[in-house]
Chain A
Amino acid sequence: MSSRGDVRTYSGFRAITMLCLFVLYSPLIIVTIYSFNASRSITVWEGLSLQWYADVFWGPESGKFKQAAINSFTIALIAATMSTAIATSAATAIVRGGRFRLRTASLGLISLPLMVPEIVTAVATLIFFNSIGFTRGYLTILAAHIAFCIPFAYLPIQARMQGIEDTYEQAAQDLYATKAQAFRRVLLPMMMPGIIAGFLLAFIVSLDDFIITNFVKGAGVETLPTAIFGSVKQGIKPNIMAISTMLLVVSIAMVTISYIVGKKDNST
């Protein structure tokens, strides 16, 4: 299969690939392995144990982590749902709205937040909440997450929608469906893989966010990333590795679901 121009025949290809994979994955693998360490030390291996997982659920910090996890997952769920709904409406308008004025501008404005440094968004969001006198807490985190998740949810939905020819909606309308029925019965089910992908992406991005959350959260309200950061400041204990590993598993599960949904759609 490998021909002369194949990148695999370049000298050093294997070494560079290995180096990249090592840099990318060795920290994750080490954290995962040491989360099962029986030692209190984070560097000395003393045998296999689930004690740090038990510590996360029942240890002295478990109350803090439990509350942070509840906050993180409820915020991620609501933020992903809301931003996906907004992104779906936006994609429908921009892809199907014909050529309206400022169409290109709308598209740019939706994707621009992806390019803005997150710290800038964080500071701006904080100043905004202060200036309108919105007390910082759970709701400010939620509002900020809904906003910054929109572009992440939007991109897969738009990509999916652009692949759907408008003859499907025309066929539905030709068969006596109103515009609303054509949207609900034909366009929406056909967009569903994109919507699910957008939702999962928004969910992970929200679950994982630290910078913006750290700026807009009030005193006493923590999400998992800010709670982990708070703990780490007092010294890294293996329970941090256990909780990080669990977050990693959730993310991998999300990505896998997203992949399967996309794959299943391609086969039909």
Chain B
Amino acid sequence: MPDTRNAIDVRNAVKRYGSFTALQSITLSIRDNEFFTLLGPSGCGKTTLLRMIAGFEDVTEGEIFLFGEEIENLPPHQRPVNTVFQNYALFPHMTVEENVMFGLEMRGSSREAARQTAGKMLELVQLAQFSARKPSQLSGGQQQRVALARALAPQPKVLLLDEPLSALDLKLRQAMRSELKSIQRETGITFTFVTHDQEEALTMSDRIAVMSAGRLQQLGEARDIYERPVNRFVADFIGETNLLDARLEAVDASVATCRLANGLTLECDAIGSARSGADVHISIRPERMTLTAVNDDPWQGTVKENIFVGTDVQTIVQLQGDIALTVRTQNSAAGVATIFDPGTEVAITVEAGAARMLED
């Protein structure tokens, strides 16, 4: 039985278009009151899943529950969830206020009650003074907030957001992130947010579901997914990382010793079922390594290039055996002291616990 405390329970949901499978048996739960993000590259099935929850796509197999109630066979207008569309889809022939009132009136509110709620919603998104305008008279950011107010006005049990920030420019996008987050806290409504932007996902979400090729790759809190990715796709998609091929040499209790192709060894947390001799992969985040003057440590290489990126400097270090590592050093007084000119021989220190072993 589904847990009635969960806002959304997706059980073995499959979506096929003819012979193409867009979603392969997705099972996940979205908790009440959380900011949940479906994250993945375009074509991974995240929008399809969102549209299945909203009711715009049929579910080929499986079930979807909303607070324990099975909804996958209900038409969209009978599902107490609302959507903020990527292109906003504001009704161009209605004023801003009429747009926000639409859902309320369709749910049976009187015109007066709908107008009052719409007023409150427009205040929440700081657009009260624009209520008599047509959507075409607003900027992109303002239209976005109208779309948000319109979707929030009927007090949906879950708010679905389909890449709502992708059409905004960078500054506005960053401002909207914190605004969305604070509106979510203020209203207490469960937000389900779809994005391909990992930074957006990391900064706003309580929990993130990483998707790729129609499958759920990993589900967890932002930090968890960043620090402990379960496979190469997640490690690479979330943030930046160095991915290295390795062989599992020995597993001793919880410590796994891995040997790289050039003979260097690393110790990682043992995970999964990999046995000694198995081919594995190692992920090391660039900011979890530091450079020092050359010493007797076997982890040595030559600085190839320094790339200045503002907040920090990326150094590409060439190790023996054709392995290149990217090291990030913070652009601070202490950090700059550990940056070396190209051509310099350096030693690399990998922080304890920074190397993450991945089975696939």
- Please, what's the 1-or-0 string for B90-116, where 1 marks a CB less than 8 Å from any CB in chain A? 111100000000110011000000000
Q: How distant is the Cα of A165 from the Cα of B88 in the complex, in angstroms?
A: 11
CB distance from B68 to the nearest CB of A (A): 21
Segment 297-339 of B: residues with Cβ below 8 Å from A:
none
Q: Is A100 an interface residue (CB 8 A)?
A: no
CB distance from B96 to the nearest CB of A (A): 13
Known contacts A178-B77, A181-B106; is A171 also within 8 Å of B91 by CB?
A: yes
Q: How distant is the Cα of A174 from the Cα of B79 in the complex, in angstroms?
A: 8
**B106 and A177 within 8 A (CB):** yes
Q: How distant is the Cα of A179 from the Cα of B56 in the complex, in angstroms?
A: 12
- Please, what's the 1-or-0 string for B198-240, where 1 marks a CB less than 8 Å from any CB in chain A? 0000000000000000000000000000000000000000000
Write out the residue numbers on chain A whose beta carbons fall within 8 Å of the beta carbon of B340: none
**B82 and A175 within 8 A (CB):** yes
Segment 160-188 of A: residues with Cβ below 8 Å from B:
165, 167-168, 170-179, 181, 185-186
- How many residues belonging to A are interface residues under a CB distance threshold of 8 Å? 20
CB distance from A186 to the nearest CB of B (A): 6
- How many residues belonging to B are interface residues under a CB distance threshold of 8 Å? 25
Known contacts A170-B56, A268-B92; is A176 also within 8 Å of B85 by CB?
A: no
Say which residue of A167, A175, A192 sits within 8 Å of B103 (CB atoms): A175
**B103 and A176 within 8 A (CB):** yes
Residue on B with the closest CB to A182?
B77
Write out the residue numbers on chain B whose beta carbons fall within 8 Å of the beta carbon of A181: 106
CB distance from A262 to the nearest CB of B (A): 15
Q: How distant is the Cα of A177 from the Cα of B91 in the complex, in angstroms?
A: 13
Q: How distant is the Cα of A170 from the Cα of B57 in the complex, in angstroms?
A: 11
Write out the residue numbers on chain A whose beta carbons fall within 8 Å of the beta carbon of B136: 268
Q: How distant is the Cα of A179 from the Cα of B136 in the complex, in angstroms?
A: 25
**B150 and A175 within 8 A (CB):** yes
Contact residues of A: prevailing secondary structure? helix
Residue on B with the closest CB to A175?
B103
Q: How distant is the Cα of A104 from the Cα of B151 in the complex, in angstroms?
A: 37
Write out the residue numbers on chain B whose beta carbons fall within 8 Å of the beta carbon of A185: 102
Q: Is A254 an interface residue (CB 8 A)?
A: no
- Please, what's the 1-or-0 string for B69-91, where 1 marks a CB less than 8 Å from any CB in chain A? 00000011100011101010111
Q: How distant is the Cα of A149 from the Cα of B55 in the complex, in angstroms?
A: 39
**B91 and A176 within 8 A (CB):** no
Write out the residue numbers on chain B whose beta carbons fall within 8 Å of the beta carbon of A176: 77, 103, 106-107, 154
CB distance from A189 to the nearest CB of B (A): 4
CB distance from B203 to the nearest CB of A (A): 27
CB distance from B108 to the nearest CB of A (A): 9
Say which residue of B54, B76, B82, B89 sits within 8 Å of A165 (CB atoms): B89
CB distance from B110 to the nearest CB of A (A): 15
Write out the residue numbers on chain B whose beta carbons fall within 8 Å of the beta carbon of A179: 75
Say which residue of A174, A186, A190, A268 sits within 8 Å of B76 (CB atoms): A174
Q: How distant is the Cα of A177 from the Cα of B78 in the complex, in angstroms?
A: 9
Known contacts A189-B93, A268-B92, A268-B136; is A174 also within 8 Å of B87 by CB?
A: no
CB distance from B5 to the nearest CB of A (A): 25
A-B contact pairs, 11 of them (CB 8 A): A165-B89, A167-B87, A170-B56, A173-B75, A174-B81, A175-B82, A175-B106, A178-B77, A179-B75, A186-B91, A268-B134
B-side interface residues toward A, CB under 8 Å?
54-56, 75-77, 81-83, 85, 87, 89-93, 102-103, 106-107, 134, 136, 150-151, 154
Which 6 pairs of residues, A with B, have the shortest CB-CB distance? A175-B103, A176-B106, A171-B89, A167-B89, A173-B76, A189-B93
Interface contacts beyond A173-B55, A175-B150, A179-B75: sample of 12 additional A-B pairs, CB < 8 Å, sorted by A: A165-B89, A167-B85, A171-B85, A171-B89, A171-B90, A171-B91, A174-B77, A174-B83, A175-B102, A176-B77, A189-B93, A190-B91
